[in-house]
Amino acid sequence: MLKVVLIDDERLARDELRRLLSRSRVNCHIVAEAASIEQGLEAVANHPADLILLDIQLPDGTGFDLLAALDRVPPVIFTSAYDHYALRAFAVNALDYLLKPIEPERLEQALQKVTPAAPASSGEPTAAQEKIFLQEGERCWFVALDQITLFESEGNYTRVYFEQHRPLMLRSLSQLEARLHPSQFIRINRSQIVNLRSVSQITTAPTGGLTLVLHNQMRLQMSRRRSSAFKQEHQL
């Protein structure tokens, strides 16, 4: 059963989505509904879902703003009365973009794209399955944690390194550290968290700490205290 959260500020639009989902060949269960970003964040936090049906224009911002505020982002199908958001929606790897009024067959096609390999009810997703939403200006990305090389603190923000991109997200490094998989992402100093799968070489630095060389040739310094703990844990 596909667990779905509906986020749309129009009650009639939610009623119509509820009716269409009840007639779908895909077995859907609506676990929560919301009419704003604030309500949507609460709904997703309290009701883990396999899919969000998300209106782009909300009273307190856009659907993109909502996604940027989520810690964990399930698959998303955008809904809107306007088609000028479509290109941006697909640029962030949305499953689909449905233009209102939504046709039953189009919704059915969109739902067929949802194949939750690890449904919300089965436990924590892996770093390869789990995605975060990043937004910088008009550019947006859905990025699997597994693809991220480095998180680097910049005040109240964190710079995220993946591929050739370096966007900022409004999260502190400590907030990120609390939700990352500790076997894969480690805090190497006060300002950096590194994905161990991105490390190609580890050597001892003259200061007694460790130097990490990444696949992209970046060189990072692990603090002496964290290096000592890392050496013990990994028997270096």
Domain ranges across the chain = 2-122, 148-234
Q: Which CATH class is domain 148-234?
A: mainly beta
**Residue with the larger pLDDT of the pair 143 and 212:** 212
Asked if residue 56 has pLDDT above 70, the reply is: yes
Alpha helices in 2-80 (DSSP H): 11-22, 37-46, 63-69
> Which is nearest to 41 in space by CA: 32, 50, 97, 159?
32
147 secondary structure, DSSP code: G
Tens-place pLDDT, residues 218-230: 999 999 999 999 9
Asked if residue 124 has pLDDT above 90, the reply is: no
SS3 of 44, please? Answer: helix
Position 170 scores a pLDDT of 86
Tens-place pLDDT, residues 61-85: 999 899 888 877 888 999 998 887 7
SS3 of 167, please? Answer: coil
pTM, two decimals, is 0.72
Position 46 scores a pLDDT of 94
150 secondary structure, DSSP code: E
> Which is nearest to 223 in space by CA: 196, 199, 193?
193
Tens-place pLDDT, residues 157-178: 999 999 999 999 988 999 899 8
- One CATH from 2.160.10.10, 1.10.10.1100, 3.90.230.10, 3.40.50.2300 for 2-122: 3.40.50.2300
